[in-house]
Amino acid sequence: MTAIQDIPVNTIDGKPAKLADWDGQVALVVNVASKCGLTPQYDALEKLYRQYRDRGFVVLGFPANDFGAQEPGTDADIAEFCSTTFDVDFPMFSKIAVTGENTHPLYRALIAEHPQVDGPADEFREKLKGYGMEPNPAPGILWNFEKFLIGRDGKVAARFAPSLAPDDAKVVEAIEAALG
């Protein structure tokens, strides 16, 4: 199996990259969407990035259109939205699939390494059902803004439910512990 850090991805402006480009840092990998009820999490993600980046922390945003077609735009549209609406400065990547048969290899590896979601996944799953939506079964990605925390060692340290805000005490404590 290829190490998570060695799986090829593309930046939002189409340049080849790998998570290895951030080796030795603590990374929060998030599947994002511009037209989701959770989209305001961009603000908290950017604040976390600015607060901890000097200590070796990075947020890595992966747009995905897998849930309710809530990321319909092109990479250029997404980049413009993130910049003008949330002043996003953390690295963003080309749109990928995070669920289904076309799931990007990065997300297949993240899920395989940490299949259990930390946080209120069951509550969120029930909330989605209440809206008439059928959530992905575990261990698949539940919805937009699911978060994987990768430690300096390149291993997934935690996986947080979409509804757990990036600035929730549980997430912040995990980031601080990973930063050391």
Mind listing the pLDDT tens digit for each residue in 59-81? 999 999 999 899 999 999 999 99
Contact yes or no for 37/131 (Cβ under 8 A): no
CATH of the domain at 171: 3.40.30.10
Mean pLDDT of 139-166: 95
Selection from 91, 71, 68 nearest residue 19 by Cα = 91
The total number of structural domains in the chain stands at 1
Confidence label for 2 from pLDDT (cuts 50, 70 and 90): low
Residue 39 pLDDT exceeds 70:
yes
Strands 16-17 and 9-10: antiparallel
Percentage of the chain exceeding pLDDT 70:
99
> Cα torsion for 64, 176, 52, 123, to the nearest 10°?
30
Mind listing the pLDDT tens digit for each residue in 46-60? 999 999 999 999 999
Average pLDDT, the chain: 93
What pTM was computed for the model? Answer: 0.94
* Domain span at 53: 4-179
Q: Using DSSP, how many helices (H) and how many strands (E) does the chain show?
A: 5, 6
The pLDDT of residue 133 is: 78
Residue 127 pLDDT exceeds 90:
no
Q: Distance of alpha carbon 137 from its chain centroid, rounded?
A: 18
36 has catalytic annotation: yes
Q: Which of 36, 142, 164, 171 is catalytic?
A: 36
